[in-house]
Amino acid sequence: MPRYTYKCSECNETFQTFHGMSETLSKCEVCGSVECLKRVYDKISFNAKTNEKTGAAQRVNDFIKDSKQILDQHKEESKRELDD
């Protein structure tokens, strides 16, 4: 099942849940409010490197480094949203 991220307009909490593609969530899992959820789309970054000189270990390390940068950006965005 796919994982979806929702944000509640009542309690301002963001959470992730698993459900089928044709389903939608209408009740907040944090505060229990109904009809207050908005689906948040996660930023996904994938950088396919096909350079033959780059080994698998280097590609994995590059991916981890890129992922950490993306996570740091998400943290900063979340902090700014909480401060507003």
Same domain, yes or no, for 32 and 60?
no
Same domain, yes or no, for 1 and 37?
yes
Same domain, yes or no, for 38 and 49?
no
Which domain covers residue 37, as residue numbers?
Answer: 1-42
Same domain, yes or no, for 59 and 27?
no
With contact defined as beta carbons under 8 Å apart, do 76 and 69 qualify? no
Instruction: State the pTM of this model.
Output: 0.49
* Neighbour count for residue 69 (Cβ, 10 Å): 11
Q: Residues 6 or more apart from 7 whose CB is under 8 A from it?
A: 13, 14, 37, 38, 40
- pLDDT tens for 47-77 read 666 656 678 888 889 899 999 998 988 888 8
Domain count, the chain: 2
Same domain, yes or no, for 23 and 55?
no
> How distant, in Å, are the alpha carbons of 44, 58, 84 from that of 63?
12, 9, 32
